[in-house]
Amino acid sequence: MNIILASASPRRKELLSQIGIAFQVRVSDVEEKVTTTVPHLLVQELSRQKAEAVLAVLPEQEGDVIVIGADTVVACDGRILGKPGTEEKAIEMLSLLEGRAHEVYTGVTLLRRMVRRENAEGAAEGTLGYRTERKSFYEATTVHFCHMSRREIIDYVTTKDPMDKAGAYGIQGLCARYISGIEGDYNNVVGLPVSRLYQEMKDWI
């Protein structure tokens, strides 16, 4: 079974490798379409769009495949926080998160495409088409932040570490000094709930 990760995130690639899954990376340039602001629905919607966009362009020669799409957001006070994009936005996000708890949601979509074939007597095996199955799920983790001074926030942002991360921080890096605890899956905060992913996928591989 050919497994494809529809994400360029180095953290997701590392986590998937960590649990012994052999995979390729294919990233789509699909324009994300958001129809909800409910965090757990939003991340599943975006993960599905990413997975479907990659599957749609895979050639027949790829054979049987599983495509993994994922999306992560941070939610606090009813606000959904994605990647900051600018240092000013990162400072704003961290100022909102410091000294309190918030939730991290990661949505995952698994798409399995199976090639249907038949053997005609005296003829080569012929491809009839595809059968596609889908699973979508999410995990939520509560993260508790220590108080951060304005100087600490600015110093952290200047490291550039927050810029490509939902909520403007990475729990596995320098910002770990400001995390007092979590409730739920740590890997979910990093970007991929690999235990849940494996349990959902193991019957397919």
Residues with catalytic function:
71
Q: Looking at the DSSP assignment, which residues form a beta bridge with residue 82?
A: none
What is the rounded CA–CA span in Å between residue 48 and residue 33?
11
CB atoms within 10 A of CB 100: 13
Q: Are 32 and 70 in contact (CB under 8 A)?
A: no
Specify the DSSP class assigned to residue 123.
S
Residue 31 burial (C-beta neighbours within 10 Å; 0-12, 13-18, 19+) = exposed
Rounded Cα–Cα distance for residues 48 and 50 (Å): 5
Number of Cβ within a 10 Å radius of residue 199 = 11
- State the CB neighbour count (10 A cutoff) for residue 17: 13
Please state, in angstroms and rounded to a whole number, the distance separating the CA atoms of residues 150 and 172.
21
| Cα→Cα distances 205→21, 44, 49, 86, 183, Å | 10, 22, 22, 40, 30
Answer whether 59's CB lies under 8 Å from 107's CB.
no
